[in-house]
Structure 1
Amino acid sequence: MRIVLVGDLMVSHSLRDEPAASALSAVRGLLARADAGFANFESVAHDFQWPPMTPSGGSWARTPPEVCAELRELGVSLVSVANNHAGDYGPAAFASSLATLSAAGLVYAGGGQDGVTAAAPAVLRTSAGSIGLVAATATCPAHAVATRSCGAVPARYGVNTLRRKGSYQVPGRHLAALSDVSAEFFGSGGEDRVVFGGVAFERGDSFHREESVDENSLNVLLDAVRKVRSESRVVLVSVHCHARERDPHTPPAFLVGACRALVDAGADVVVAHGPHVARPVEIYRGRLICYGLGSLLLRPDDAAQPAEVYAAHGLRPGDGPGLTARRLRGLAAGGEDCSALVVDATVEGGALRRVDVHPVLLDTDPGSPSAGLPRRLSAAESDLVLERSGVARLDVPRGLVVAGVSASPRG
C-alpha cells in the first residue's frame, strides 16, 4: 500500500486555475500513483453564512465549498480536520464543513458533534486495504474543542484535542520584576510563583520551559489507535501542533514522546504539522514519524477577513495584498521559512518498505500571484530542506529504503 502525505492545506481559490494547477502538477502526479493521499484540511468550507468567531486560529480560514471536490480530484482522500482553524466560524460552520467534505468523497477524522465522535477513528477502504485515521490537535482555541454533554448542558461540535500542560521557570530577579508588574496592575504578586498573562511562572535557577501532554487526552488517542488497529491494514495518526523550541525546525520534546507512544500503541505512520516549516523524519521501531510536514498550500483569503484584522494592521478593509505582505513578513520574522515535505510511504506485508521524502518551498513573495504555492527549488535549497528532515542521518532497519528526492515536487 502506498500513501502520500502532505501537510496543511489552507486554500481559498480554485486548484484548477493557474497558477495553482501548474504549481501542484508534480504533487498531483505523486498522489495519482498512490492508494491514498493524506492532508490536514486547515480551513472551514462555507459561503459566509456564519459570522467569524473570536479568537480565530490566527487568521480566519475559509474555503469555497466547491474546492473540496477539487481536493479530491487532486488525489487527497484522507483529511484531518483537527487544527486551530476549525472553529474560525463557529460550530454550525464546522458542522456544515464536515458534511461538505463527506459529500466531496473525503474521509475525515478529528472532528464531530461531540467529544466522542471527534475522537473516533475513520476508515478509508481502498483496493489495497483499509487505512485507519486518528486525528487530534494540540493547538486550538477553547471554543472549538469538542465536548461531551453534561446533564442538561448539550455537547459542543468541535475538534479532538491533545491537551498539554507547561511549567515555566525564571531566575529570581526576573520573577521579582514580574511580581512587581503584576502587583501594580492586577493587585497580586508572589515570591516563588506569579501568574502573569494567564501563565504561571515559578522561581528557578535559569530560564526553563517544560511541557508535557495531558495523560487523559493522550489515552483517548491511544485507545482510538488500538480500536482501529484490528480493522486496518495501515493505521495513520495526525497531530496538529504549533508548539516549538527556539528553533522552529526542532519539535518539542512532549510531541516526540506523544508520537512515539502512538507508534507503541499500534500506529504505522504518525504525522505532525502546524508550523510552516519542515521538521525531522524519524524511523521509530520500524515505523514512520514525521514531526513536521509544513504546508503544501498557504493561501488564506486575505481579501475576506473581519474588519478588525485590517484595522489592527492600519489597512483599509479588504486590502488583501497589504495583509498578505504583513502575514508573510510575520512568518519570516518568526523563523518560519515556509519549507515543507511531501512524503511517499509504502507499506507491504505489515511493514514499512520505502519512504521517499520530497522537499518543498512555498513562494513567499507577497507580490507574486503564486504566493503560498509550491515553487521551484534550487539544488542548494532542496539540499537544505532535506538536511532539516534528517533523512541522511536516519538509522534505517534492514529491508527499508528511505531516500531524499532532490527534485522538488513542483511542476
Structure 2
Amino acid sequence: MKTIIGSENPLREEADDYDAVGSIATHVADGFTTTLVGDLLYARPVSKGYYPGLDDVLKIFQGADVVFGNLETNILDFQSNGCPQAEYGGAYLIGSPQLADDLLAMGFNLVSRANNHTLDWGVEGMRETTRILDQKAITHAGAGESLAQARAARFLETPRGRAALVSFAATFEPMARACDPAGEAPGRPGLSALRLSKSVIVPPEMLEKLRQVREVLPWYASPPQDCSRVIINEMVFKAGEKPGYSFEPNQRDVADIIRNVRRGKQLSDFCIATNHGHEPEEFTPEPPDYEQTFARMLIDAGADIYLNHGPHHVRGIEIYKGRPIFYGLGNLFNQDLRTPIGADMYEAHGKDPRVDSDADVTAHEMAVGYPYAEGFVALSDAIYYESIISVARYESNRLSELRLHPIELRRSDRLANRGVPRLTAESQGKTILERLQKNSEPFGTTLEVENGVGLIRLPSR
C-alpha cells in the first residue's frame, strides 16, 4: 500500500502546512502533552474505591492536555436499554452509568469506541453509551448511526491546541460494521471497520498436500485457476517461508480511513488515529504484517500518533518521521467481574444460569480463556496484567520525548478487586520495560530507563 502526500491542486497546497518530512504539520503550543493508555476493560467506578496505589497512577494523568484510552465496554442501565446480543466480542462487557463520571474524575477526556465489544448490548447499548458520554462532554469517536458518522474525526478543545481522534477496528463482530445509506435503504448503526482478508501461510510442500485435500472434497464449481493458493471452506492458504498469517486490508476502507485522518488533521492542530486489532493472534509480540505500512500511511496523511490497543499486552514502539507508532499499549483496566452476562456466554463456558452465577462464568473465563477462533484465548496470564502508560510531550511542534510508566493490574488480588492499575515494584517494572525494548528493537527504537521509567528521546531538529 502506498499513499502520496502533496497534490498538483494549488488549493490543497495552500490549505495544508507540511513539515520537513512531508506530513501535515503539528500546530500545538509548547508543553502540549498527551497521556495514552490502551484498553479500559472497565466495569465499575474506581476513583472513590479502596484501591491502594491508584492515586499514584492518576497523578501521571495530571496536567496532560489529552488523556486517551480505548473504552472497551458499554455504559448503560441494562434494565431500560439494550440486551445481550447473539454475536458478542467473547464476553459481554458492560459498565454502570456512573463510569462516565469516573472517567472524568480520573482525567479522561478522549476515548475511542470502535472495538469488538461495541455492540455487545446491541444498537440500544451503543446509543446509550453515546448519550452518556455526550452528556458528560467526553469526546469519543468510532461508533455512529452510519458509517460516515462512525468514521468521522471528533474534536477536543484544549488550552494548547485542538485534538482530533479517528477510531476504527480491525477486529470486530460481523453485525457490528456500520454502513451508509444506499438508495432507499437507510444507513446501519455500528462501528468504523477496517476489513482484513486473512491468509494462512504454510510451507510449499504443505500447500501441495492441502491442494490434494481440496481435490477429494465435494466441490460444485471448478477449482480456481490461481495455483498460488488453496481455498478450503473459505480459508485461504498460501505458500511462504515463514508459517503464520498474512492480512490484506480492504482498499476501500483504507482510503476512507485515510481521508478521515486527513480531514481530522485539517480541522485540528493534532490528530490521533487508533486501531483496535487482535491480529495476528492476541498472544504474539509481533504486529500483523499489514500494520506497519498502514500506520505509516496514516502518519503521512496527517496523524501525529498511531496506536493499536487490541492485543491486551505491550508490543513495540516505532518512531516514524518523528511521530510515534504504538503497536500495542496493553490494558489500563482489566476488571474481571462482569455482571450481568447473557445466556450465550453461560452456554459457551458450560455453565447453567439456574445453578451457576455470572462470577462463576467469569472465573472460568479467566482460567481457560474466552471462545475465540478455533479455541480459547487465555486471559489469566501475567502479560495481560502488565502494561505501560505513555506520556508524550511536544516542544516547537514536534515530539520531544516519550515517558513510559510501567504498571500492573493486581493479578494476585481476589476476583472482585482485580484489574485496577498501580505502579510496579522495581523488579517487575524492569521486566516490563525490557520486554518493551525487545519488542521495539525491530523498529530501530532505543529505550532508556531512568528511575524506573522508560524514556525515548528524540534528537533536536
Shift of 1:104: 1.4
Which residue pairs with 1:362 in the alignment?
Answer: 409
Tell me, which stretches of 5 or more residues in structure 1 are unaligned?
A: none
- Which secondary structure state, in structure 2, belongs to the residue aligned with residue 364 of structure 1? coil
Contact 2:35 2:67 (8 Å CA) reproduced: yes
From 313, 320, 327, the equivalent of 1:291 is: 327
- 1: distance between equivalents of 2:320 and 2:449? 16
From 119, 122, 130, the equivalent of 2:151 is: 119
- Which secondary structure state, in structure 2, belongs to the residue aligned with residue 337 of structure 1? helix
Contact 2:201 2:240 (8 Å CA) reproduced: yes
Moved more, 343-352 or 378-387: 378-387
> Deviation digits for residues 364-383 of structure 1, max 9, x if unmatched?
34734331222453333212
Note closer, same or farther for the CA distance 1:234–1:296 as it changes in structure 2 (3 Å cut).
same
Contact 1:43 1:86 (8 Å CA) reproduced: yes
Tell me, which stretches of 5 or more residues in structure 2 are unaligned?
A: 1-31, 370-377, 455-461
- Which secondary structure state, in structure 2, belongs to the residue aligned with residue 390 of structure 1? helix
Contact 2:317 2:445 (8 Å CA) reproduced: no
- 2: distance between equivalents of 1:66 and 1:31? 20
Aligned residues between the structures: 402
The one-letter code matched in structure 2 to 1:346 is: R
- 1: distance between equivalents of 2:101 and 2:192? 24
Which residue pairs with 1:27 in the alignment?
Answer: 57
- Asked if 1:8 corresponds to 2:36, the answer is no
From 317, 326, 346, the equivalent of 2:393 is: 346
- 1: distance between equivalents of 2:322 and 2:124? 41
- Asked if 1:230 corresponds to 2:266, the answer is yes
- Which secondary structure state, in structure 1, belongs to the residue aligned with residue 416 of structure 2? coil
> Deviation digits for residues 339-363 of structure 1, max 9, x if unmatched?
2221001122220012101112223
Normalising by structure 2, we get a TM-score of 0.79
Normalising by structure 1, we get a TM-score of 0.88
Note closer, same or farther for the CA distance 1:334–1:407 as it changes in structure 2 (3 Å cut).
closer
Note closer, same or farther for the CA distance 1:177–1:258 as it changes in structure 2 (3 Å cut).
same
- Asked if 1:240 corresponds to 2:270, the answer is no
Contact 2:330 2:384 (8 Å CA) reproduced: no
Counting only pairs closer than 5 Å after superposition, residues 387-402 of structure 1 correspond to structure 2 as: 387-390=434-437
Q: Which has the larger radius of gyration?
A: 2
Note closer, same or farther for the CA distance 1:245–1:95 as it changes in structure 2 (3 Å cut).
closer
Which residue pairs with 1:89 in the alignment?
Answer: 121
- Which secondary structure state, in structure 2, belongs to the residue aligned with residue 253 of structure 1? coil
From 119, 134, 146, the equivalent of 1:102 is: 134
Note closer, same or farther for the CA distance 1:371–1:10 as it changes in structure 2 (3 Å cut).
same
Which residue pairs with 2:22 in the alignment?
Answer: none
Root-mean-square deviation (Å): 2.9
Shift of 1:244: 2.6
Moved more, 50-59 or 191-200: 191-200
- 2: distance between equivalents of 1:357 and 1:174? 48
Which residue pairs with 2:217 in the alignment?
Answer: 183
The one-letter code matched in structure 2 to 1:240 is: H
Shift of 1:94: 0.7
From 32, 47, 66, the equivalent of 1:36 is: 66
Shift of 1:301: 4.3
% identity of equivalent residues:
27
Which residue pairs with 1:256 in the alignment?
Answer: 292
Note closer, same or farther for the CA distance 1:250–1:321 as it changes in structure 2 (3 Å cut).
same
Note closer, same or farther for the CA distance 1:380–1:239 as it changes in structure 2 (3 Å cut).
same
Which residue pairs with 1:67 in the alignment?
Answer: 99
Shift of 1:333: 7.5
> Deviation digits for residues 66-88 of structure 1, max 9, x if unmatched?
21121011100001001110011
